[in-house]
Amino acid sequence: MDLQGSIKDLWKAIYNTGDLHHCFNCSTCLSGCPASHGDPPLLVRNLARMVILGLEEELLNDDTPWACVSCSKCEEMCPMDVKPFEMILAIRQWQSANDETRVPPSIVEIYKRGYTQAVGVNTELRESLGLPELNTITKNPEQLQMFREILMKTPVVSANDYMFGG
């Protein structure tokens, strides 16, 4: 690990909570973490250390936060209240803000039709199951436009408007 380029205050830009500094690398966050079995493994305690040490480049290039399954068991197990899952999300947010290739394509889907999946399109199947037609936002242009206008004022959409056809 190269500490030459270490940025002392990087944690404030990524996960500005005093609780982070209570982490003593006990590894309880790894017990029961599915993605800790990955290759490369998601090692939550290592990410906490990298944030504290301010290893900007290593963190920017680290894909493992995106392997998290969001089960939040680490959050339950952490004895120091670091809230590791919140930290994972914070690292992803910081990566997305500093590297547009990290911005998840799913947010463009949500912007376009309100959902990550084609909700309400399977009308024949739904009918055969005795299900009602859904009043989706996709079918309601006025509501969808209102929702988009909210998103346009948020950092990720305003900074990457080309992705949203704007």
List residues binding another protein (CB under 8 A).
Answer: 32, 34-35, 37-39, 42, 63, 66-73, 75-76, 83, 85, 89, 92-93, 96-97, 103-104, 106-107, 110, 114-122, 125-126, 129-131, 134-137, 140, 143, 146-147, 149-151, 153-157
Q: How far is the CB of 154 from another protein (least distance, A)?
A: 4
CA 131 to chain centre: 33
Q: Which is nearer to another protein, 5 or 112 (CB)?
A: 112
**CA–CA separation, 91 and 14 (whole Å):** 6
Question: Which of 60, 82, 87, 72 lies closest to 34, judged by CA?
Answer: 72
Q: Let me know: does 60 contact 98? Beta carbons within 8 Å.
A: yes
Q: How far is the CB of 46 from another protein (least distance, A)?
A: 16
Type of residue at 38? G
